[in-house]
C-alpha cells in the first residue's frame, strides 16, 4: 500500500497551499467577524479552475481524482472552513449532474459550472427532514409540460448564488416505500415563486450563506427533471453524498491541521515560569495527541478517496472517514484552545474560530450517529470487511 501523493497531486497541493496562505489566511479572521462575503476569494478559486473539480474534462472541468478533490477541501479549510462550503455544495451538485443528468442538461449547465460562471448547490434538507430525507414534504405536481413545486428547504449553502438549484421533491407522495416517488428537479434562478427568504444565523461556518428557500407554486419545465426519469431522486442525491462525505472528512483534516499549527506555534512562543510552555509535559502530551489524531484522520480520508478512484462503492469507507476525521477535528480544536489557555477564548486568535467551525463536521452530510449505523449495517451484511 502506497500512501504517498503522486507528483501531480503534490504540485496541486502546493499550488493550493500557496493560494490559501496568500489569499485566505491573512483575511479570514477579520472578514469572518465582519460578516463579509469573500467575493475576492471566490474569484481566486474560479481563476484556479476549482469550480470545475467534479466536472468531466469534456465539459471543460478538471475532473480531478478524488484524492486531489480531498486535498482541495483540506487546504482551503486550513485557511477558512466556510470558504470550503462554497466550493463543496457546488462540487457535490456538479458531480450529481455529470453522473445522472441527461445529455441536454449536461450541455446546458456543465461548461459554465466548470468555469464558475454559473454556481450551484443542492437543496435536500427541510425544516422537518434532515437525516431522514424520505420524510420531505416538498412536492412537484405534473401540470402539462411543467411541474408545480411547493415546499420549503432549509440550511441551503450557496442558495443565493445557485443557478440551477437542484431540489429534491416528491413527484409521487403516495409511493411506498417513499423513495420510489422522489425526484430531483433543476430549478433555475429567478423562477417565479422561488424565494430565498433569509440567511440562517450560525455559531460558525461563516463566509458562506445557509438559507431558507421557499418554493411557492414554482413552475419547472419537465425537461429539468434530472436524468429525465421520475423516482430516482433519492438515489441520485445519496450517490453524490459519497463525495460529500469525503469533502467533509477533508475539511475536518484542514481544521485539525490548522489547530496543530496554531498550537505548535503558541507552545514554542508562549512562556510561563521562565520557559516556553512547550517544555511542560502536559502541553507536550496535548500536542502529540493533536498530531496523532490529525495524521490518522488524514490517512483515513485519503484511503476513502483512493477507494472511490478505484471505482468501487465506498459508502462504508467514506462514512468511516467522515466519522473519524470530524471527531478528530473537534478534539484537536479543543486541545489547541486549551494549550492557548485564556487567549484561546479570545476572538483575536485563530483557535476560537476553529473551535466554532469544528462541530458542524460531525453534523454535515449525515450525522455521525446515523453514519455509524450505516457502517455497522454494511459490516453485518458482509458488504464491507475490515482487515
Active-site positions?
Answer: 365
Point out which residues pair with 214 in neighbouring strands.
152, 195
Q: DSSP E strands: which ranges in 64-145?
A: 139-143
CA gap 361, 285 in Å, rounded: 25
> Is-contact 361 321, C-beta < 8 A?
no
Count of Cβ atoms closer than 10 Å to residue 302 Cβ: 24
Tell me if residue 206 falls in helix, strand or coil. coil
For residue 277 the three cell numbers come to 510552555
Kind plus residue range of the DSSP H or E element containing 216: strand 210-221
Peptide bond into 177 cis (omega under 30): yes
Give the CA distances from residue 137 to residues 125, 239, 290, 298, in Å, rounded to whole numbers and listed in that order. 10, 21, 43, 38
Tell me if residue 274 falls in helix, strand or coil. coil
Peptide bond into 164 cis (omega under 30): yes
Tell me if residue 155 falls in helix, strand or coil. strand
Point out which residues pair with 142 in neighbouring strands.
147
Amino acid at each position: 500500500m502506497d500512501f504517498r501523493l503522486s507528483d501531480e497531486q503534490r504540485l496541486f497541493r502546493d499550488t493550493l497551499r500557496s493560494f490559501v496562505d496568500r489569499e485566505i489566511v491573512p483575511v479570514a479572521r477579520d472578514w469572518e467577524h465582519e460578516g463579509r462575503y469573500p467575493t475576492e476569494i471566490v474569484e481566486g478559486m474560479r481563476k484556479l479552475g476549482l469550480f470545475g473539480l467534479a466536472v468531466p474534462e469534456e465539459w471543460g472541468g478538471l475532473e480531478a481524482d478524488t484524492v486531489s478533490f480531498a486535498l482541495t477541501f483540506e487546504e482551503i479549510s486550513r485557511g477558512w472552513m466556510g470558504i470550503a462550503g462554497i466550493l463543496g455544495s457546488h462540487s457535490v451538485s456538479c458531480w450529481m449532474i455529470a453522473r445522472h443528468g441527461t445529455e441536454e442538461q449536461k450541455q446546458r449547465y456543465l461548461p459554465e459550472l466548470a468555469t464558475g460562471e454559473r454556481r450551484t448547490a443542492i437543496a435536500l434538507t427541510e425544516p422537518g427532514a434532515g437525516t431522514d430525507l424520505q420524510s420531505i414534504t416538498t412536492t412537484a405536481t405534473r401540470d402539462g409540460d411543467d411541474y408545480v413545486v411547493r415546499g420549503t428547504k432549509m440550511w441551503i449553502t450557496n442558495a443565493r448564488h445557485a443557478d440551477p438549484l437542484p431540489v429534491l421533491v416528491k413527484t409521487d407522495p403516495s409511493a411506498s416505500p417513499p423513495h420510489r416517488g422522489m425526484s430531483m428537479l433543476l430549478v433555475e434562478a429567478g423562477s417565479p415563486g422561488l424565494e430565498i427568504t433569509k440567511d440562517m444565523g450560525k455559531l460558525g461556518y461563516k463566509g458562506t450563506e445557509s438559507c431558507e428557500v421557499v418554493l411557492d407554486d414554482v413552475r419547472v419545465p419537465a425537461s429539468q427533471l434530472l436524468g429525465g426519469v421520475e423516482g430516482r431522486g433519492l438515489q441520485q442525491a445519496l450517490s453524490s453524498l459519497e463525495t460529500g462525505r469525503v469533502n467533509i472528512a477533508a475539511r475536518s483534516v484542514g481544521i485539525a491541521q490548522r489547530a496543530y499549527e496554531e498550537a505548535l506555534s503558541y507552545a514554542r512562543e508562549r512562556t510561563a515560569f521562565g520557559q516556553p510552555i512547550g517544555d511542560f509535559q502536559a502541553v507536550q502530551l496535548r500536542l502529540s495527541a493533536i498530531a496523532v489524531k490529525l495524521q490518522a484522520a488524514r490517512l483515513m480520508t485519503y484511503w476513502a478517496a483512493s477507494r472511490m478512484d478505484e471505482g468501487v462503492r465506498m459508502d462504508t469507507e467514506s462514512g468511516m472517514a467522515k466519522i473519524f476525521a470530524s471527531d478528530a477535528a473537534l478534539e484537536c480544536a479543543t486541545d489547541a484552545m486549551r494549550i492557548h489557555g485564556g487567549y484561546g477564548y479570545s476572538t483575536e486568535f485563530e483557535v476560537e474560530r476553529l473551535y466554532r467551525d469544528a462541530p458542524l463536521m460531525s453534523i454535515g452530510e449525515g450525522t455521525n450517529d446515523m453514519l455509524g449505523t450505516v457502517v455497522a449495517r454494511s459490516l453485518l451484511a458482509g458488504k464491507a470487511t475490515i482487515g
